[in-house]
Amino acid sequence: MSELARFLVVYEEEAVGYIVAQGRRKSRKIAEIAYAIAASPFAEPDYVLPDGDGRPIAHVATDGYVISYWVDAPVKRIVIVEIEPDR
């Protein structure tokens, strides 16, 4: 049995800006969270809200962050659109 291809993680500009503003340790933690999402792209998120175009954006709160993303299944990628501290 072959292993399924892993999803690629892609960051939109706003998410990149947040990551760049963090220190090395926090940036690494965010990357670990993103790769965990990519490893299980269809896991149940904490909640889903539509973006301005009506696309469902999944939100996962974990390890002090809320990661907002959408799954682009046909091309096997996770698009991280926003990262915020979990308040």
**Amino acid letter at 72?**
D
Asked if residue 86 lies in contact with residue 17, where contact means CB atoms within 8 angstroms, the answer is: no
4 vs 38, 41, 70, CA distance in Å?
Answer: 12, 12, 19
Q: Sorting pLDDT into bands at 50, 70 and 90, what band is 5?
A: low
User: Which class would CATH give 8-85?
Assistant: alpha beta
- At residue 1, the pLDDT reads 39
Q: Can you give the residue ranges of every domain in the chain?
A: 8-85
Mean pLDDT within 25-34: 95
- At residue 4, the pLDDT reads 56
Mean pLDDT within 11-22: 95
Q: Is the pLDDT confidence value at 87 over 60?
A: yes
Of 36, 55, 58, the C-alpha closest to 47 is 58
pLDDT tens digit sequence for 46-60: 999 999 999 999 999
* pTM of the shown model: 0.89
Question: What percentage of the chain has pLDDT greater than the value 70?
Answer: 94
Of 7, 2, 3, 1, the C-alpha closest to 43 is 7
For residue 42, give every residue at least 6 positions away whose Cβ sits within 8 Å of its Cβ, in sequence order, or none: 71
